[in-house]
């Protein structure tokens, strides 16, 4: 293992005479601090620049939080009293109705507690970008050249199929990353093409060419956002706050360049086909010529040349071919690593007035970050583990090539909307005390979709309420995209002890110190050290694999991610200027090593996917991966930037939304039945954080009780009974108190989170819609998969980018997930008609029980309204599958007939304890 030099002897102020100066003036002296660049903190105290924090945590106002917590505990007490009263006062006329309702209400109380308790300590955080720039990128005695001293960031972008994920959308994401406001030499972008498609490869080649003019244009005029499609689609005035007189000319020319770029991207499919046909025709001509040289004009079968996919250099594409061929299919192709843009130098490169592109780039840094295309190897008989496997392949390949100590993962459609988002995330990672932060989760924001968010696809409540609340405990959960990771945390190392401010993760990452006072080890000690190093190497090989390059990169990544040794409390920090040295250029041996670590057999007999990297075995690999890090004692941070950090594509139709919920809920069921169950975790996780994960894992089970509870008003109206014996004052008082307290809690959450009332209400509606459809299906699918190993889930569900009718707003494609909620709506409408008709025609009507059933049923219909609205929107265009209504209608009629038959009148008496028709 390579040794690392300790930085513990570096002075906080970077001066060798720092201790002597402090002794002269006295430690903490305002005079000394002022002489050395300190500043007033507003309280009459002078603080040094090194002492200024990179981030601030702002607790929610006591005026909001105190009544919020008090109301939570008050509602818990009321719920306990209500349930005790319900259990004690049984409805003897309909004991079965009473029993079902009580069981459901007990579960709802338990579920509400799991969701509400982690919200007791919400916080807000802000990043201090000015302090970060002043500390890491400003000319100072420690950094006389002013070179960036920030650690490197590797950005991972994943794509799986160019037919479902448009290459132009992916190209915009890559361009926005290349144009991000972060030191160019410390930024690298990796694209994982899980399909091994030549369309994606050719798109990356076009991106590398277009980035040479787009990125300098962004820097020259400081435009936001830096994805070209989103920028040129802005509805606000693009000329506002622009000072340079050539901006109008540059923007017009750049728009023309981008239009030509889009034409080239959209024509790539035809270009590849024409090129491949031309190369194939050439090979056929050569084969025919050789055939004639050998056999003349004899009538022997002529050789056939397979239709291959050719690259521009005249070689076969090693990835997936358009026409299936052995070793060139989606699940059977070679590994590919191609460096599209090389790593830049540390020195700024000023541009020129390029007449070819008609842009004056004089005085603009034209360097570009490294851009690497990666397609991992796939072979039959080896499990690819979908996105988790692709991410782990990126982690290994990047460790060999650029080895950034931090990396950010993005989906193909999550472009960078705020170019300074990377810096804001680093504020939390590099802040003093931030060495225990394993990842920084950014909120997910979306473009397009329904402005009213009728399908709750923006998930504002999840991010602004749940994530802020978890940030006050141990940190938000990892939600798949827009997350800045610490490489060492994902490698499976434990965080440093909280009482020690150092950057190490494990003993092997620290330099070995001499044991004797003279500083020289004896022969016996050197032998012991050698044996210890061999033992560590063997452990690393079992955990990370046999790649020497990958293992050698671990100590360097650990060193680079350390905080600066700018304060006496920082132990084993890195010295000033350690990251300003030039990077080693990418060599052919590096690329060869990167290809070897993404081979399909590399993970055999290692801990990748079990302890190291993204965890395998669940469709929600993000939740499980974040859970594992929290379980080891790491914490996370929720970062809300000034302006949306990243924006993606919103869910725009009902089908996509239901399938999205189905996938997440299925993963939660697998999470619950796996060894990652929050009930069996280590003491490294805080109790409220455990409750939050338990809430996620048990969420799909609530669907059973939601479905039963939505059918209870039907049973009430058909039977003439209610869940209680009579609508007593006590029952109504409990219902009123619980409803009012729930509404007040919602208002307080809206105030401290900043969401809108419509967001909260839409979330409540989709809690019912998802519970009666996708979550219910996920529960059965997950239980079936866990118990029998049979996976009946559909992995081929198309998204809104597919280009069929389901990609239109409010469009629909057939899915049986719609049948249960539509059936519930229909039977509730039928039950209302039956209940009202029977009560009106009854000789002794019981209006109180009818009123209870009506209110109950209307409550259900109001929650299902967005589903009905989506169906009607689609129905007006004639695109709702008729089979949905046929099946739902048949099931609803069957349930209604059974309800009527079971309560058919016989004279004027009761049957089965129920009041029947007179």
Residue indicated by tokens 């024509």: 267
CA distance 760 to 714: 27
Instruction: Answer whether 108's CB lies under 8 Å from 753's CB.
Output: no
Residue 322, judged by CB atoms within 10 A of its CB (0-12, 13-18, 19+), counts as middle
Task: Name the pairing type of β-strands 910-911 and 914-915.
Answer: antiparallel
Find where tokens 């930085």 sit.
7
Could you give the 3-state DSSP secondary structure of residue 217?
helix
Query: At residue 244, what are phi and psi to the nearest 5 degrees?
Result: -75, 135
Name the helix (H) or strand (E) containing 890.
helix 882-902
- End-to-end Cα spacing for the chain: 89
> What CA–CA distances, in Å, run from 369 to 177, 221, 341, 723?
9, 19, 7, 65
For residue 647 the two structure tokens come to: 């924006």
Active site residue 431: no
Residues 6+ apart with CB under 8 A from 774: 658, 659, 661, 662, 665, 817
Q: Give dist(CA 337, CA 373) in Å, integer.
A: 6
Concatenated DSSP letters for 692-723? Answer: HHHHHHHGGGHHHHHHHHHHHHHHHHHHT--S
Q: Where are the alpha helices (DSSP H) in 603-647?
A: 621-631
194 is in an annotated binding site: yes
Instruction: Give the whole-angstrom CA distance, residue 318 versus residue 373.
Output: 13
Secondary structure, 3-state, 751-803: HHHCCCHHHHHHHHHHHHHHHCCHHHHHHHHHHHHHHHCCCCCCCCCCCCCCC
- Name the active-site residue from 622, 644, 656, 759: 622
**Closest C-alpha to 660, from 797, 783, 548:** 797
Q: Determine whether 194 is an active site residue.
A: yes
Question: Which position among 93, 193, 194, 593 bears the catalytic label?
Answer: 194
3-state secondary structure 556-571: HHHHHCCCECCCCCCE
CB proximity list for 746: less than 8 A, separation 6 or greater: 757, 760
Residue 104, both tokens: 């459901």
Question: Between β-strands 153-159 and 406-411, what pairing exists: parallel, antiparallel or unpaired?
Answer: parallel
- CB-based contact 651:800 (threshold 8 Å): yes
Q: Which of 141, 128, 119, 163 is nearest to 52 (CA)?
A: 128
Residue 329 gets which letter from DSSP? Answer: B
Q: How many other β-carbons are positioned within 10 Å of the β-carbon of residue 797?
A: 18
Tell me the angle at which helices 654-672 and 865-876 cross, rounded to the nearest 10 degrees. 140
Q: What is the DSSP string of 398-447?
A: HHHHT--SEEEEEETT-EESSTTHHHHHHHHHHSTTGGGEEEEEPPPEEE
CB 380 within 8 A of CB 577: no
**Is there a binding annotation on residue 249?**
no
| The two three-digit tokens of residue 541, written as one number | 């090989």
Contacts of 791 (CB under 8 A, 6+ apart): 781, 785
The answer on whether 229 is annotated among ligand-binding residues is: no
Q: Is 301 annotated as a binding residue?
A: no
Given phi > 0 = left and psi -120 to 50 = alpha, else beta, which region is 173?
A: alpha
Strands, E, within 540-641: which ranges? 635-638
DSSP letter for each residue of 58-86? EEPPHHHHHHHHHHHHHHHHHHHHHHHHH
Q: Is 387 annotated in some ligand binding site?
A: yes
Give binding residues for Mn(2+) as ranges: 387, 411
Give binding residues for UDP-alpha-D-glucose as ranges: 164-165, 194
Which are the catalytic amino acids?
A: 194, 622
Give binding residues as ranges: 164-165, 194, 387, 411
């Amino acid at each position: 293992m390579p040794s690392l030099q300790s930085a513990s002897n570096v002075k906080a102020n970077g001066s060798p005479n720092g201790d002597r100066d402090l002794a002269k003036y006295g430690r903490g002296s305002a005079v000394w601090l002022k002489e050395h660049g300190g500043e007033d903190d507003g309280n009459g105290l002078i603080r040094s620049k090194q002492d200024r924090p990179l981030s601030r945590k702002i607790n929610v106002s006591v005026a909001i939080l105190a009544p919020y917590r008090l109301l939570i505990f008050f509602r818990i007490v009321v719920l306990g009293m209500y349930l005790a009263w319900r259990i004690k006062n049984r409805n003897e006329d309909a004991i079965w109705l009473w029993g079902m309702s009580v069981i459901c209400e007990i579960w709802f109380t338990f579920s509400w507690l799991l969701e509400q308790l982690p919200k007791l300590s919400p916080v807000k955080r802000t990043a201090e970008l000015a302090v970060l720039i002043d500390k890491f990128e400003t000319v100072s005695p420690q950094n006389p050249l002013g070179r960036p001293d920030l650690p490197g960031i590797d950005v991972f972008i994943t794509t799986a199929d160019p037919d479902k994920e448009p290459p132009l959308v992916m190209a915009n994401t890559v361009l926005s990353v290349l144009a991000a406001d972060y030191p160019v030499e410390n930024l690298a972008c990796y694209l994982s093409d899980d399909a091994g498609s030549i369309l994606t490869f050719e798109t990356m080649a076009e991106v590398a060419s277009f980035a040479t003019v787009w990125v300098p244009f962004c820097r020259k005029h400081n435009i936001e956002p830096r994805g070209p499609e989103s920028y040129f689609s802005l509805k606000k005035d693009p000329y506002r706050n622009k000072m340079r007189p050539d901006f109008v000319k540059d923007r017009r020319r750049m728009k023309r360049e981008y239009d030509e770029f889009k034409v080239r991207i959209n024509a790539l499919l035809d270009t590849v086909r024409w090129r491949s046909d031309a190369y194939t025709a050439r090979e056929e001509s050569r084969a025919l010529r050789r055939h004639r040289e050998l056999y003349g004009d004899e009538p022997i079968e002529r050789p056939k040349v397979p239709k291959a996919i050719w690259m521009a250099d005249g070689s076969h594409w090693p990835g997936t071919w358009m026409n299936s061929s052995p070793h060139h299919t989606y699940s059977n192709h070679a590994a590919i690593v191609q460096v599209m843009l090389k790593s830049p130098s540390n020195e700024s490169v000023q541009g020129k007035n390029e007449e070819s592109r008609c842009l004056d780039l004089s005085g603009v840094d034209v360097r570009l970050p490294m851009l690497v295309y990666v397609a991992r190897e796939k072979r039959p008989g080896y499990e690819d583990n979908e996105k988790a496997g692709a991410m782990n392949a990126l982690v290994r390949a990047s460790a060999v090539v650029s080895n950034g100590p931090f990396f950010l993962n993005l989906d193909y459609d999550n472009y960078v909307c705020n170019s300074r988002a990377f810096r804001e995330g680093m504020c939390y990672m590099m802040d003093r005390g931030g060495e225990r932060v394993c990842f920084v989760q950014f909120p997910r924001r979306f473009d397009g979709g329904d402005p009213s968010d009728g399908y709750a696809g923006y998930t504002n409540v999840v991010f602004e309420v749940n994530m802020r609340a978890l940030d006050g405990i141990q940190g938000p959960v990892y939600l798949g995209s827009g997350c800045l990771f610490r490489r060492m945390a994902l490698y499976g190392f434990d965080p440093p002890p909280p009482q020690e401010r150092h950057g190490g993760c494990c003993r092997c990452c620290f330099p070995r110190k001499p044991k004797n006072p003279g500083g020289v080890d004896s022969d016996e000690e050197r032998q012991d050290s050698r044996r210890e190093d061999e033992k560590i190497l063997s452990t690393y090989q079992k955990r990370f694999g046999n790649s020497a390059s990958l293992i050698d990169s671990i100590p360097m990544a650990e060193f680079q991610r350390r905080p600066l040794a700018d304060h006496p409390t920082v132990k084993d920090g890195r010295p000033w200027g350690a990251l300003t040295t030039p990077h080693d250029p990418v060599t052919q041996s590096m690329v060869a090593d990167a290809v070897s670590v993404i081979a399909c057999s590399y993970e055999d007999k290692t801990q990748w996917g079990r302890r190291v990297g993204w965890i395998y075995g669940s469709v929600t690999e993000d939740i499980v991966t974040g859970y594992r890090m929290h379980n080891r004692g790491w914490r996370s941070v929720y970062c809300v930037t000034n302006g949306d950090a990243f924006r993606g594509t919103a869910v725009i139709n009902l089908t996509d939304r239901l399938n999205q919920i189905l996938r997440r809920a299925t993963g939660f069921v697998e999470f619950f039945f796996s060894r990652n169950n929050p009930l069996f975790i280590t003491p490294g996780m805080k109790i409220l954080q455990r409750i939050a994960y338990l809430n996620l894992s048990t969420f799909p089970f609530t669907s059973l009780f939601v479905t039963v509870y939505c059918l209870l008003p039907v049973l009430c109206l058909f039977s003439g009974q209610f869940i209680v014996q009579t609508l007593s004052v006590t029952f109504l008082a409990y219902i009123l108190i619980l409803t009012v307290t729930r509404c007040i809690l919602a208002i307080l959450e809206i105030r401290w989170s900043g969401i809108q009332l419509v967001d909260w209400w839409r979330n409540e509606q989709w809690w019912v819609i998802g519970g009666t459809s996708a979550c219910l299906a996920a529960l059965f699918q997950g239980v079936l998969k866990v118990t029998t190993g049979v996976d009946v889930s559909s992995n081929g569900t198309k998204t809104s980018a597919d280009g069929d009718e389901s990609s239109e707003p409010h469009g629909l494609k057939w899915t049986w997930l719609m049948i249960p909620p539509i059936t519930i709506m229909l039977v509730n409408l039928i039950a209302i008609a039956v209940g009202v008709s029977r009560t009106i025609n009854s000789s002794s009507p019981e209006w109180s029980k009818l009123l209870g059933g009506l209110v109950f049923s209307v409550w259900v219909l109001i929650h299902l309204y967005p589903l009905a609205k989506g169906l009607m929107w689609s129905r007006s265009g004639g695109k709702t599958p008729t089979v949905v209504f046929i099946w739902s209608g048949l099931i609803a009629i069957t349930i209604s007939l059974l309800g009527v038959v079971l309560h058919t009148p016989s004279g004027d008496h009761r049957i089965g304890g129920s009041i029947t028709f007179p």
